[in-house]
Amino acid sequence: MGRLFDAIEQYRQRFAPHPPAYSRIAEEVGVSRQTLLNWETPTKLIDKEHLVALSDITGYPYERLLDALLEDIGYLRKDQQAVAARRNPKRPRKGPKEQRPD
């Protein structure tokens, strides 16, 4: 599993024992459930608008998710994280949608 999907899973775990369904997250991001599940092992960049939406939903900084995606598809090594991502805290910020479990 890639780092981008790890972020999705961490978001879902915040709502244990009733995490939001993949289909609900996918709908909020603006993609199909299958597309979201394909991000488990991404092979190409995803649309910026979807990455921004994922950031809004999960509360993770956009730069952190972008670094995760770039690492997952092989454009970035673990030791080459973007400067902006290093400035952001490792813990997700509380997003507006965190209050609504599925």
Q: What is the pLDDT along the chain (102 residues), one digit of tens a residue?
A: 899 999 999 999 999 999 999 999 999 999 999 999 999 999 999 999 999 999 999 999 999 999 999 999 988 776 766 544 555 555 555 555 555 554
Q: In angstroms, rounded to a whole number, what is the distance separating the alpha carbons of residues 91 and 93?
A: 7
Residue 82, in any domain of the structure: yes
Residue 21, in any domain of the structure: yes
SS3 state of residue 102: coil
**CATH of residue 7:** 1.10.260
How many domains is the chain partitioned into structurally?
Answer: 1
Residue 93, in any domain of the structure: no
Task: Return the number of other C-beta atoms located less than 10 Å from residue 55's C-beta.
Answer: 21
The domain of 68 spans 3-87
Would you give the DSSP letter of residue 75? S
